[in-house]
Structure formats: C-alpha cells, structure tokens
C-alpha cells in the first residue's frame, strides 16, 4: 500500500511519549487489570484530540454558518469535560499522566483534510460514530454494581457523543446540498483518505473495531442504509 501523508500531531509536553502506529502502543491484553487503566489514559488523550480538531475547525473555517460554529464550540466544551472525567478516574485508580504511550491519529488524519464537510464526515460521522458503538458495547459489558464509576462515565459520555454525531450528520448533508458536486467529491476524497491513513496507522491489526450499534446510530441520525454499510465495514475489518 502506498504511504499517505499525515499532518503533524498536536503539541504535547515532556510527560508524554507519542507514537505514530498502533503497534507501538502498550496494547495490554483485556484480561490484565492494567488494560482498564491504560484505556483511561488513552481515552483521555483522544478526548483532547477531539477538542483540538474542533478548535482547529473553528479557526480554519471562520465563514462556516453560525449554527455550525456554535455546535463545534459546544463540542469543544463537551470533550473538555470528558477529558477531565477520564483523567479524574485514571488518577483515582493510581495512574500517572504520561504513564503510557499515546497516539494522536485522529488529529493527524483529520487536519490533513481541506474541507469542513470532509472533516465532519470523518470526525463526527466516522470516528465519533465508532465511538458510540464502543461506548454502547462497553455499557453492556460493565456491571453497574461491580464498576459504577465506569458505567456513569460511559453514560455521560454517550449522551454528548450522540449529539456530536447527530449534528455531523445534519451538517454534512446540508453542506453537500448547498455545495453540490464539488462538496460531494470533497467528502468522498476525505473518507477515502481517512480509510487509507487509518489502515497505515493500524498496520499491525492491534486497533479494535466494534460491532455497530443500530439503536444508537438511528438516534444519532443515520438511516438504515447507512447502518447496513457501516455494519458491513465493521464486519470486514474485525
């Protein structure tokens, strides 16, 4: 596979060891108690990526409709709360910030996309949608009585992420309608690029793919045909 270009990652201070590929992370077996702690640390950084991407969207596309800019600003606020929540639980479980390597794959992929519709298609309709699949699955696996802190964190996160996917669905479709074929092609290019870039980053197969949550995706604004396609892709990659 030909290599694709990735954007430089966001700045991180000296506490963090930043990796470029999934295989370079500390991919701990789920049966190991440390798996959960590493997940909290990794997720904390991913929430930070989401803030940085949405903030860059506000800066890079100052002429976007006001309602869309407000939605992206609210996403920054939501993701900041998520980041703090993951950090609080991570540190409560005796983790130290910077304890595990991190990867800024979302930022490095999305910031290399030059259209707002393309960025929303990848960030909100793809990465965030996969996120609600993962959260829904985790809520099925975690027992409220055995780990109420994890369940409460996931429930609060799911409510926000659902809104992020929903406004992404609404605005990608609206931008495509207003922009015509040029915007349609821009979205297609962005999604194709993101797929190739993600395969490059996850070359070892260590990245996880989650079963598609039909109920959550319907609530987030996907129609049945889109869910069928997402399910086929997830099954192919799993």
H/E stretch holding 236 reads helix 224-237
Query: How far is residue 146 from each of residues 40, 108, 143, 149, 213, measured CA to CA in Å?
Result: 17, 37, 5, 9, 24
Per-residue pLDDT reduced to its tens digit, 24-78: 999 999 889 899 899 999 999 999 999 999 999 999 999 999 999 999 999 999 9
Q: Is the pLDDT of residue 147 over 90?
A: no
> pTM score, two decimals?
0.87
The set of residues, in sequence order, having a beta carbon less than 8 Å from that of 131 and lying 6+ positions away, is 161
Rounded-to-integer distance, Cα 58 and Cα 80, Å:
16
What domains can be seen in the chain, in order of their start residue? 18-237 (1.20.1260.10)
Per-residue pLDDT reduced to its tens digit, 103-142: 999 999 999 999 999 999 999 988 887 777 777 777 777 7
Rounded-to-integer distance, Cα 39 and Cα 92, Å:
14
Per-residue pLDDT, averaged over 65-94, amounts to 96
């Amino acid at each position: 596979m030909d290599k694709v270009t990735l954007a430089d990652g966001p700045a991180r201070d000296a506490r963090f060891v930043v990796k470029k590929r999934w295989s370079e992370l500390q991919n701990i077996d789920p049966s190991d108690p440390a798996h959960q702690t590493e997940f909290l640390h990794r997720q904390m950084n991913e929430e930070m990526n989401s803030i940085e991407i949405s903030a860059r969207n506000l800066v890079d596309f100052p002429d976007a409709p006001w309602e869309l800019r407000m939605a992206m600003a609210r996403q920054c606020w939501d993701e900041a709360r998520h980041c703090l929540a993951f950090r609080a639980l991570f540190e409560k479980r005796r983790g130290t910030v910077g304890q595990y390597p991190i990867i800024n794959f979302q930022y490095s992929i999305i910031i290399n996309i030059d259209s707002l519709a393309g960025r929303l298609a990848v960030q909100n309709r793809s990465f965030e949608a996969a996120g609600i699949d993962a959260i829904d699955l985790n809520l099925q696996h975690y027992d409220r009585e055995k780990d109420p802190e994890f369940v409460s964190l996931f429930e609060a996160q799911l409510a926000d992420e659902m809104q992020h996917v929903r406004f992404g669905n609404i605005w990608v479709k609206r931008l495509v309608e207003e922009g015509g074929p040029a915007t349609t092609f821009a979205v297609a290019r962005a999604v194709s690029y993101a797929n190739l870039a993600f395969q490059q980053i996850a070359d070892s197969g260590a990245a996880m793919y989650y079963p598609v949550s039909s109920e959550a995706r319907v609530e987030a604004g996907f129609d049945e045909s889109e869910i069928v396609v997402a399910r086929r892709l997830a099954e192919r990659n799993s």
